[in-house]
Amino acid sequence: MAKLILVLGDQLSTDLSSLRHYQPEDRVLMAEVMAEATYSPHHKKKLALVFSAMRHFAKALGEQGYNVTYSALPDSPSTLFDAVTRHIDNADALLITEPGEYRLLAEMQHWQAELGVKVTLLEDDRFFTSRREFARWSQGRRQWRMEHFYRQQRRNTGLLMAGAEPEGGQWNFDHQNREAWQPQALPPLKRYAPDAITQEVLALVEARFSHHIGELLPFEFAVTRQQALEELDDFITQRLPAFGTFQDAMASGEDYLYHSRLSPLINLGLLSPREVCEAACQAYYQGHAPINAVEGFVRQILGWREYVRGLYWTLMPGYKSHNALNSTRPLPELYWSGKTGMHCMSEALRNTLQNGYAHHIQRLMITGNFALITGLDIEAICDWYLAVYLDAYEWVELPNTLGMVMHADGGLLASKPYAASGKYIQRMSNYCQHCRYKVNKLTGADACPFNSFYWHFLARNRTTLAGNPRLAMVYRTLDRWDEAKLDAINQQVAWQWRRIENNDL
């Protein structure tokens, strides 16, 4: 029985559950379709990365003996279903590894009736934890906490374990990973010159998606399995040793510091999360990288990445509608233009628009913190994060934005909202030294907007948040302020919102 095996653009692995069933009489279908390219105004670099990686992967499959049909834009059908319909002839069945996004899975569950052939959806087992295993872990728990899940992951996998105990004598070394930036020479980034395939993709993106967000050039990312392995080796060798110490730091003009560019490659399938974690652990055992760096890095993949995926699939589709803090303000134009006098925001947005990248503290404590404390619309800010980052797919983006950034799930993902004034930004970066606003001022024309928005956020959400023990100290501070000071903050915020609406903040 001949099968058609549909491989999606973020499933670029020969260790894919569907490809394990490949037989010589089968065909593999890959398709670039406008519906997937345009349901979000994806960053131009993201489109180029996905299309180029897809084309290179299809070429590699063909060289390995697979019978591959590749449907490329601009001649490809507009949807995945249309692409399957066009190529299902002479196939008795359709085989698909489950997609990473709920909306696609919901569509595909109707395809068998519509196509008239057997459609089999296989589990995506490229993760450490299956959806069923996470649902079993979460069942009946009064509180879900990533740290509890992460420790179980360590025990299950044996990663960074010394028998029954964690390496280094403790599970989490995060207290050693909060150093502010200290000027120093950074290792150069690896750059991958676009080959003929990538050049064709760049021309396509410029011609068909010129209205999308972001800058397309220069484009120097890894797009093949071999280049992804080189990127992994470069990170382990050049950046991992100092990654932990400075993973929360930020610095003007330094877009990557000691962070990796591996998350887009893992999310595409060019690298497996297990091989990445094992490479980091090997660096620790060989004495190349300290435990705080390796544990912090492994926690992001083995812990956080797996946790948000499990939460997404366990709680969708209802999770998407949460808005615990009633955040409804329109998304300001500055998120799309990057134009603002707030130097921290302009730096994070510049990096985002230029590179399709910002590291986790820029996302959480700069662009995310600002969205949280100003009360931006949940759907709008989630759509923005999905559009602008190379590694953004809804299964990982939605919990991180709705839950971690916006606290819209009421504390399911994070035990407290990650709200902060300008003082946090001053402590962790050199941004404030270059800003026209004064980080030590609460009100006035030159006062840091993060300060008044932060206290206004706490005041307007008192009913919801005051009972959180992790916020008890800040609410005690707020309680000591008189009405005149609180009124001055309200006036400051109202004035700043007028400036935001006029694109003048």
Q: 319 — phi, psi (to 5°)?
A: -55, -35
Domain with CATH 1.10.579.10 in the chain: 334-501
pLDDT band at 178 (very low <50, low <70, confident <90, very high): confident
Q: How far is CA 75 from the centre of its chain?
A: 30
SS3 345: helix
Q: What is the structure's pLDDT at 177?
A: 84
Q: Give me 322's structure tokens.
A: 């949460």
Q: What is the structure's pLDDT at 140?
A: 83
Nearest to 37 by CA among 266, 209, 243: 209
Residue 9 contacts residue 50 (beta carbons within 8 Å)? yes
β-strand partners of 337: none
The answer to whether residue 312 scores a pLDDT higher than 80 is yes
Q: Give residue for tokens 């595909």.
A: 108
Give the mean pLDDT of 311-336: 96
Q: What is the structure's pLDDT at 303?
A: 96
Question: Would you call 67 exposed, middle or buried from its count of C-beta atoms within 10 A (0-12, 13-18, 19+)?
Answer: middle
Q: What is the structure's pLDDT at 347?
A: 97
Q: Give me 452's structure tokens.
A: 């008044």
d(CA 367, CA 341): 14
Looking at CATH, the fold of the domain delimited by 3-122 is given as: Rossmann fold (3.40.50)
Give the mean pLDDT of 369-374: 98
Name the helix (H) or strand (E) containing 119. Answer: strand 118-122
Q: Give me 391's structure tokens.
A: 């590694």
What separation, in Å, do the N-terminal and C-terminal C-alpha atoms of the chain show?
Answer: 63
Domain with CATH 1.25.40.80 in the chain: 131-315
Residue 397 contacts residue 369 (beta carbons within 8 Å)? no
SS (H, E, C) 243-277: HCCCCCCEECCECCCCCCCCHHHHHHCCCCHHHHH
Strand ordering across the sheet containing 118-122:
68-71, 27-31, 3-6, 93-97, 118-122
- State the average pLDDT for the chain: 95
pLDDT band at 142 (very low <50, low <70, confident <90, very high): confident
Q: Give me 27's structure tokens.
A: 């065909």
pLDDT tens track for 3-26? 999 999 999 999 999 999 999 999
SS3 290: coil
Give the DSSP letter of residue 432.
Answer: G
Q: What is the structure's pLDDT at 383?
A: 97
Q: What is the structure's pLDDT at 162?
A: 95
For the chain, percent of residues with pLDDT exceeding 90:
94
Beta-carbon count within 10 A of 350 CB: 17
d(CA 381, CA 401): 8
Nearest to 9 by CA among 96, 91, 85, 87: 96
CATH of region 131-315, choose from 3.30.2020.30, 3.40.50.300, 1.10.150.120, 1.25.40.80: 1.25.40.80
Q: At what angle do helices 306-315 and 146-157 cross, to 10 degrees?
A: 120
The answer to whether residue 1 scores a pLDDT higher than 80 is no
SS3 91: coil
Domain with CATH 3.40.50.620 in the chain: 3-122
Beta-carbon count within 10 A of 475 CB: 15
The region of weakest confidence among 44-48, 349-353, 473-477 is 473-477
Residue 288 contacts residue 279 (beta carbons within 8 Å)? no
Give the mean pLDDT of 281-309: 96
d(CA 385, CA 79): 23
The answer to whether residue 50 scores a pLDDT higher than 80 is yes
Q: Give residue for tokens 């707020």.
A: 478
SS3 70: strand
Residue 454 contacts residue 440 (beta carbons within 8 Å)? no
Q: 429 — phi, psi (to 5°)?
A: -150, 175
d(CA 483, CA 347): 35
Q: What is the structure's pLDDT at 174?
A: 87
d(CA 503, CA 505): 6
d(CA 82, CA 78): 7
Look up the pTM and report it.
0.95
Which CATH architecture is the domain 334-501 placed in?
Orthogonal Bundle (1.10)
Nearest to 325 by CA among 376, 366, 361, 365: 376
pLDDT band at 270 (very low <50, low <70, confident <90, very high): very high
SS3 280: helix
Name the helix (H) or strand (E) containing 428. Answer: helix 422-428
What is the per-residue burial (b if ≥16 Cβ within 10 Å, else e) of 383-420?
A: bbbbbbbbbbbbbbbbbbbbbbbbbbbebbbbeebbbb
Q: What is the structure's pLDDT at 143?
A: 80
